[in-house]
Amino acid sequence: MTKVTAGQAAQAIEDKKGFITHAAKQLGISRRQLHNLVNLHPTVKEALTDAREEMKDFTESKMYQAIADGNTTMIIFYAKTQMKDRGYVERQEIVGKDSGPVEVAISPLDKINRALDSIAANTAASDDPERID
C-alpha cells in the first residue's frame, strides 16, 4: 500500500482540479483511500473544497463569456436561474383532464394511516389525567 501524506493528497487534489479519481491515480491510491484522507485531514478537505470552488468560478466565467458572445441558450439559462426577481421564471401550470381540476385519489394505505393517527390521538387524549369526560 502506498503511503501518502496529507500534503501530497492536497497537492494532487489541487493539480487535478478537485477530481478525486484523477488525484487518486496521480497518487497511486484508490478513490476510497483518498476519500478517507479527505475525511481525516482538514487540510485535504480544505484543498478539495478550494479546488471545487475554483472550478465553479471558472465555469461561471465561461458562462459570462458565452453570454457576452451572444449565446442565446446561456442567456436564457442565466435569466431563468439568476433573474427570478425580475420575473424571468418558468412556471408550470398543472391541470386535470381536459383542463379541469386536478383529482387526488387517496390510497387505501393513506386511509389506514389516517385512521391509525386518529386512534393514536384519541388514545393519547384519553390518557390525560386532567381530562374530564
Any domain includes 107: no
- Alpha helix segments (H runs only) across 2-41: 6-15, 20-27, 31-40
Q: Could you report the per-residue pLDDT of 63-119, keeping only the tens digit for each?
A: 999 999 999 999 999 999 999 999 888 887 888 888 888 888 888 898 899 999 999
Any domain includes 36: yes
Number of domains in the chain: 1
Domain that holds residue 20: 6-88
Any domain includes 106: no
Q: What is the pTM of this model?
A: 0.62
Q: Could you report the per-residue pLDDT of 40-61, keeping only the tens digit for each?
A: 999 999 999 999 999 999 999 9
Any domain includes 126: no
Return mean pLDDT, the chain: 91
CA dist., res. 118 & res. 114, Å (int): 6
pLDDT band at 7 (very low <50, low <70, confident <90, very high): very high
Phi-psi region of 87 (alpha: psi -120 to 50; beta: other; left: phi over 0): left
Any domain includes 74: yes
Any domain includes 42: yes
Any domain includes 17: yes
